[in-house]
Amino acid sequence: MKSLYFITGSQDLYGEETLKRVAGDSAEMVKYLNGKLKDTVKIVCVSTVRNSDEAENICLKATCDKDCVGVICWMHTFSPSKMWIRGLQALKKPMLHLHTQANEKLPYKTIDMDFMNLNQSAHGDREFGFICTRLGIKREVVVGFYRHDDVIEKIRAFARVAIALNFSRGMRVAMFGGNMRDVAVTDGDRVESEIRYGWNVNYFGIGDLIEIVDAVTEEEINGKMSEYENKYKFATDDIKAVREQAKYQIALEKFLARERISAFTDNFQDLNGLKQLPGLSVQDLMSKGVGFGAEGDYKTGALMAVMCKMAEGRRGATAFMEDYTYDLTAGSEKELASHMLEVSPAFAANRPEIMVCPLSIGGKEPPARLVFDGIAGDGIAVSMIDMGTHFRLVCAKIKLIKRPEAMPKLPVARLTWELVPDFKTGAAAWLYAGGAHHAVVSTALNIEDIKLFAKLTETEIIVIDENTEI
């Protein structure tokens, strides 16, 4: 399990007795937090930091520890912050500054100078906050008594984002083919993506995959077919076409494992050697948290994998989606989101049906795909675009709704949603912000999660929510 270091700051000025109390309180707090957060992250209590050498040592240790995804810092007493400069300069892990106290209530009747000197985070955390701001350190500040539920949940949310950032650093992304010809918004600066997010994005020829596809055995396909039978309803007699997709999925799984890849893209313009466009195969992989971006959209694919990591252990679905068409009936406008094949069954409201239908794009044999209507609930749509000078995240609140009517002639999976704060404002804001037609949609995550990701990666973010005005 990944860990967060719990670093308590103090100094030598107060003497042994006080430092003993500081250490004891910190241990007690960590014990309590571990009880509450044990399903998410392990909090590691480290020795109280009293001087600049100790600050530097613990920050270096946190930076080098592969299991450590971030640090929680708290100043129990006053801790002069020049002593934190070298340490904070060495720290390369996300920080949560926990502004709390060992005591909830102020003991008005008994408080004396000793108590006030021991419990002075109002004083010490301000000194620490200043040096973080002076050094330009992006961090999450959480304020409140450490046993309060809202504080615990903020620490949990931070831990999830920190775990996702740790995963993001060093994540490998494969592009089968390049970006779709002439399309702008799906393209991007792959070098900058690796510098900022750690995404190692590389091109692979589709021939690398075909080799593995050709070596898949009938027995392996039988195994994958029974996996499909358990999860999906067969609404086709064309079993051969479904087996073809099973073969692609097996090959993709082998390729991803061999190359240690967490997200991939394909491009229907470059699939020579495959009889069908990958449909069902990609859909099933997405539901397992493998990042996917269509038409060479590596940014959305990689972002999907990171957001799926962030959403681990939470209820809801997270996957790549595309804005497609609207119902513009005045006052009840809706968006229909879909893709030519690749919609994750994580979004399915009903048991997905496997269908085999011709596709007007791609010039291939009719591909097997999963068809279903989408779930209802609160969600977000997150798009990452390359502005040339920097990346921008556009994060919009959306309301997923039950399909208003059946769409029997539409042989692809689809979601229906309403924009926030209203259709016209939400859509115009997205267009002004430059948001793409591809996004990662999630009903598991919220805007705060994405804002924290943006803050800790120093990414520009535009939020579209109920308070948005053009």
Residues of this chain that bind Mn ion (CB under 5 A): 294-295, 322
For 145, the token pair is 């008594």
**Of 87 and 296, which CB lies nearer to Mn ion in the complex structure?**
296
**Of 84 and 320, which CB lies nearer to Mn ion in the complex structure?**
320
- Inter-axis angle of helices 447-456 and 298-310, nearest 10: 110
CB of 347 to Mn ion, least distance (A): 16
**Of 306 and 439, which CB lies nearer to Mn ion in the complex structure?**
439
CB of 299 to Mn ion, least distance (A): 13
**Of 159 and 436, which CB lies nearer to Mn ion in the complex structure?**
436
Match 């009880």 to its residue by tokens: 35
Provide φ and ψ at 425, rounded to 5°.
-65, -45
**Of 294 and 341, which CB lies nearer to Mn ion in the complex structure?**
294
CB of 183 to Mn ion, least distance (A): 9
| C-alpha to C-alpha distance for 179 and 436, rounded to whole angstroms | 14
Amino acid at 277: L
CB of 191 to Mn ion, least distance (A): 24
For 136, the token pair is 């330009």
Q: How many Cβ atoms from other residues are within 10 Å of residue 146's Cβ?
A: 22
| C-alpha to C-alpha distance for 458 and 140, rounded to whole angstroms | 12
What torsion do the CA atoms of 33, 38, 40, 43 make, to the nearest 10 degrees?
A: 50
Q: Decide: helix, strand or coil at residue 343.
A: coil
CB of 247 to Mn ion, least distance (A): 24
Match 């973010």 to its residue by tokens: 461
CB of 182 to Mn ion, least distance (A): 13
Interior/surface letters 368-377, b for 16+ CB within 10 angstroms, e for the rest: bbbbbbbbbb
Task: Answer whether 180's CB lies under 8 Å from 296's CB.
Answer: yes
**Of 297 and 373, which CB lies nearer to Mn ion in the complex structure?**
297
CB of 389 to Mn ion, least distance (A): 25
For 74-131, what is the HEC assignment? EECCCCCHHHHHHHHHHCCCCEEEEECCCCCCCCCCCCCHHHHHHCCHHHHHHHHHHH
**Of 295 and 373, which CB lies nearer to Mn ion in the complex structure?**
295
**Of 125 and 295, which CB lies nearer to Mn ion in the complex structure?**
295
CB of 379 to Mn ion, least distance (A): 19
